[in-house]
Amino acid sequence: MSTATEFQAKTRTGRIADFVDQRVGGSTMVKEFGRKIFPDHWSFMFGEVALYTFVILLISGTFLTFFFDPSMAETHYAGSYNPLRGVEMSVAYASSLDISFDVRGGLFMRQVHHWSALLFVASVSVHMLRVFFTGAFRKPRELNWVVGGVLLILSLAAGFTGYSLPDDLLSGNGLRIIDGVVKALPLVGTYISAFLFGGEFPGTAIIGRLYMLHIMLVPALILLMVAMHLFMVVVHKHTQYPGPGRTEDNVVGFPVGPVYAAKAGGFFFIVFGVVALISGFFTINPIWNYGPYDPSPVSAGTQPDWYIGWVDGALRLMPGMLGNFSFEWIIPFPWGANTLVLNVLLPALVPAIVLLGLMFAWPWIERWVTRDDREHHILDRPRNAPFRTAVGVAGVVFYSVMWAAASSDLVATHFLVSLNDVTYWLRALFFLGPVIGFIVTRRICLALQRKDRDIVLHGREAGIIEMSPEGGFSERHEPLDEYKRYRLVAFDSPDVVPAQPDAVGHISRAEKRRGALSRLFFEDRVAPVTPEELAEAHAHHGHAAVEGGEKAQIGH
Amino acid sequence: MKALSQRRRHPLAAAALLLIGLVATGGLYTAAGSVNEAKASTVYTASDVEEGNKLFVANCATCHGLNAEGTPNGPSLVGVGAASVDFQVGTGRMPMQMQGPQAQAKPVQFSDEQIVQLSAFVASLGAGPAVPHEEWLDTSLGNSANGGAVFRTNCAMCHNAAAAGGALTRGKFAPSLDGVSEAHIYEAMVTGPQNMPVFNDSNISPEEKRDVITFLKEIESQGSPGGAALGSLGPVSEGLFIWTAGLGIIIAFTIWLTSRSS
Ligand code: HEM
């Protein structure tokens, strides 16, 4: 090619940039990535909040590693916190106290680290709920949903390993519970516990081991998964809410560069600022209050951080005996009797397996029931997927009941009710809550959908009462503009797909089950208003079917 | 001597021996107990007892009986000691406001002088823990680090490691110890009010009790080094805070950021 067309940088910086670009090809990357479109909606920002709090965790955590010593060797505290001076404790606890009281800015950094950890898991959870309730996990994003689920579990692991490091009374009590759960595993439990703690609990090894997990393995896995996660977000492109001009083949929003990148960069500092302000003004995990870990004392109000609370709550709800039925079984074996501690095993494992199992499987369950193999880039409004939304709410209620149970003692003291009653009510809600949540949510969704139909067909209530020449009163309804109407009618509404015969005309049992589920999911669906219905409604002077399809016409 | 040995097979000998044994152990026990507890700084006069009796009949007898012998509505106060009255009346728990899982603290109903008189009256009914001497309440003589260790082992399981209080079964609770006076902390340990167990001087020595008081007063006066303590309730209030205030602020920002563009 002729040299004339070749790009010649004019400035010094330009020449350096060009030099680098010719060797690493950055500009194509920036061009490609910078042209990605990211739609604007506040509910899309929780993934970012998770990402930013994770970065804050990395930064503040690095600071803490400079001063933290994960040794369980015994020492006598000689730092400046008087109520603990001379007390025997582990080096790990002493160094955490030193970070809090004798390292400049140390307490602030500890609080930044812990507050951002709480915010991190909270934003991951809200992000996940957003993805679930809008149906963003559907094809082609199922695998990204799974990667996200792994991230959720990793976040819990990161939080729990970190919570245990200072070796204070509170975290030691938490570890003891974990030890109990591990030991409750049949046959292998005691061995796992012995390997984990290097002998009998608490031993002198556990803090060092958790430290390695907390600062190396778990963050590395999270980083890896986040990279995969974001890569897939770029590959799939972001989803968008329904709206005029938004289709399954486009994304309406801002290009990542420069507007979006600038906004996102600014948002990082906003999140950092909020975390810093909170950390400056509010104590978190005041380890000096709890004292060094010692297996004998247990403090009242011993709770894990919020994201482990649901497991703690499940343990609190579980009765040891039900009438005369004991959940602790002694099983005779040729080599002696082994105990099966179901009152620990069931609450510690079953709710987690149910919730996480359902979470991972849900995209496939929905795909199977709907027999829907299309790609979905337009999100559902939660009301337009009543069954899914109801299942989600049931899950949230189930989780929240266990979550609340973890603070049953504080509920009792602060609302002046009996601890026993709190436990009984929560036990009932554990079973009834999800069912009630499901039914109520489904009904609300269906009602909202009917209301949407009503608004599309009749327009919005204007709040103006008119009197007709005959003396009748009626309220004026204002027709919707096209854009608003589009949002209310353009949604995907899967219908019941009855069990289908296969090639030879046979209906398999699995297929029958699928058909039944499909009916359960969608039988009372409210279909979106069709153009014909709309035309008819207008012709009828604003009175027409509110119910979908062939259902009853609502007259005057 | 001979007479005694001859009578040792008398039918009543066993009973007499038992009686002697009981009196001796009982006496020794009380003596040992009161050696520990006879630290009273107040000496009650006969008129204190008399005034106390009048106050008692007017305010307490409905539940505790005219002679403090107890009724179905309240236990006997014979032998509970001046410390118990000083605590119960001095913290406003007595006269009790209503029957319930546990007598609740409320504004104090009596003057210091009247409390002394009531204590004098109840102390006159039978030996019991006395109001502690100043010496055992002087936090400048105590060791807060040791007190903290004693507190964590003996008290934190109900009162919480930061003394913020905690729940017991069926509506009973261990209250927060913030703002409780030195004397009342001491008296609570020796008398075991409401659902609290007694920590007598062989469980926790008076020096250790003083250490505990020193510890509690020190964490009370030092405030919270890390900023607002959120009730010192631990991870629950922290979680509640991040889900409400923390996430709330973040959501407000996300709405603000995304609304600018459209
Ligand atoms: C460390 C934790 C996580 C980080 C840093 C993270 C980050 C992100 C970011 C920045 C986005 C794009 C913006 C958005 O839609 O919010 C995203 C999208 C997504 N995330 Fe996550 N996420 C995390 C955890 C999860 C979890 C727990 C799940 C679900 C189990 C999940 C599922 C998804 C899915 C399906 C998308 C695509 C959404 C769409 O295109 O509408 N993520 N994630």
- The string over A393-420, giving b where at least 16 C-beta atoms fall within 10 Å of a residue's C-beta and e elsewhere, is bbbbbbbbbbbbbbbbbbbbbeeeebbe
pLDDT of residue A543: 47
**Residue that wins the pLDDT comparison between A312 and A33:** A312
- The answer as to whether B176 is a domain residue is yes
* CB A48 near ligand 1, within 6 Å: yes
Which backbone phi and psi does A321 adopt, to 5 degrees? -130, 150
**Residue that wins the pLDDT comparison between A157 and A255:** A157
pLDDT at A333 over 80: yes
Share of chain A above pLDDT 70, in %: 94
pLDDT at A4 over 70: no
Encode pLDDT of A424-471 as tens digits: 999 999 999 999 999 999 999 999 999 988 888 888 888 888 888 888
What span, in angstroms and rounded, lies between the C-alpha atoms of A401 and A415? 17
CB contact under 8 A, A419 and B170: yes
Kindly give the distance from the C-alpha atom of residue A84 to the centroid of ligand 1, in angstroms, as a whole number: 44
Q: In which residue are the tokens 């109407």 written?
A: A485
What span, in angstroms and rounded, lies between the C-alpha atoms of B201 and A455? 78
Share of chain A above pLDDT 90, in %: 50
CB contact under 8 A, B236 and A407: yes
pLDDT of residue B36: 47
Q: What is the average per-residue pLDDT within A159-185?
A: 92
Which backbone phi and psi does B71 adopt, to 5 degrees? -140, 175
pLDDT at A481 over 90: no
Enumerate long-range contacts of A99-104, CB under 8 Å, 24 or more apart: A99/A64, A99/A67, A99/A68, A100/A287, A100/A288, A100/B225, A100/B226, A101/A288, A101/B225, A103/A67
What span, in angstroms and rounded, lies between the C-alpha atoms of A50 and A122? 8
Total domains, chain B: 2
CATH number for B141: 1.10.760.10
Domain A35-300+327-343 sits in CATH at: 1.20.810.10
CB contact under 8 A, A84 and B145: yes
pLDDT at A344 over 80: yes
Encode pLDDT of A368-384 as tens digits: 888 888 888 888 899 98
- The answer as to whether B94 is a domain residue is yes
pLDDT of residue B179: 86
Encode pLDDT of B8-23 as tens digits: 667 677 777 777 777 7
Q: In which residue are the tokens 């903290």 written?
A: B148
pLDDT at A307 over 90: yes
- The answer as to whether B11 is a domain residue is no
Q: Are A198 and A191 in contact (CB under 8 A)?
A: no
Shortest distance between the Cα of A476 and any Cα of chain B, in A, equals 31
Shortest distance between the Cα of B231 and any Cα of chain A, in A, equals 10
Give the residue among A348, A361, A355 at the shortest CA–CA distance from A314: A348
Per-chain mean pLDDT for chain A = 87
Q: Which helix (H) or strand (E) holds A127?
A: helix A106-133
Name the residue of A229, A355, A366, A377 to mutate for ligand 1: max ligand atoms within 8 A of Cβ. A229
Give the residue among A458, A460, A442 at the shortest CA–CA distance from A524: A442
Least confident of A248-252, A287-291, A385-389, B229-233: A248-252
| Banded model confidence at residue B49, pLDDT cuts 50, 70, 90 | confident
What span, in angstroms and rounded, lies between the C-alpha atoms of B19 and B31? 18
Give the single-character DSSP code of B45.
Answer: -
What span, in angstroms and rounded, lies between the C-alpha atoms of A451 and A546? 8
- The answer as to whether B23 is a domain residue is no
- The answer as to whether B8 is a domain residue is no
pLDDT at A416 over 80: yes
Residue B10 to residues A283, A501, B23, B24, B171, Cα–Cα distance (Å): 75, 104, 20, 21, 56
Encode pLDDT of A107-139 as tens digits: 999 999 999 999 999 999 999 999 999 999 998
First to last CA, chain B: 113
pLDDT of residue A40: 78
pLDDT of residue B11: 66
Q: Are A319 and A326 in contact (CB under 8 A)?
A: no
Residue A379 to residues A43, A58, A183, A395, A431, Cα–Cα distance (Å): 12, 33, 45, 20, 31
Q: Is B64 annotated as a binding residue?
A: yes
Give the residue among B25, B36, B9, B28 at the shortest CA–CA distance from B203: B36
Q: Which helix (H) or strand (E) holds A325?
A: strand A325-326
pLDDT of residue A496: 82
Cis peptide before A295 (omega within 30 of 0): no
CB contact under 8 A, A291 and B148: yes
Q: Is B10 annotated as a binding residue?
A: no
Give the residue among A430, A429, A451, A433 at the shortest CA–CA distance from A441: A433
- The answer as to whether B39 is a domain residue is no
Above 0.90 for ipTM, yes or no? no
Encode pLDDT of B132-155 as tens digits: 888 888 888 888 899 999 999 999
Q: What is the DSSP string of A472-500?
A: -EEEEEEPPPHHHHHHHH----PPP----
What span, in angstroms and rounded, lies between the C-alpha atoms of B34 and A59? 61
Task: State the residue range of the domain holding B83.
Answer: 46-123
First to last CA, chain A: 78
Are residues B194 and B158 part of one domain?
yes
Q: What is the average per-residue pLDDT within A504-529?
A: 85
**Residue that wins the pLDDT comparison between A532 and A395:** A395
Residue B242 contacts A where some CB pair is shorter than 8 Å: yes
Give the residue among A239, A93, A233 at the shortest CA–CA distance from A170: A93
pLDDT at B48 over 90: no
Domain spans in chain A, listed from the N-terminal domain onward: 35-300+327-343
What span, in angstroms and rounded, lies between the C-alpha atoms of B75 and B63? 8
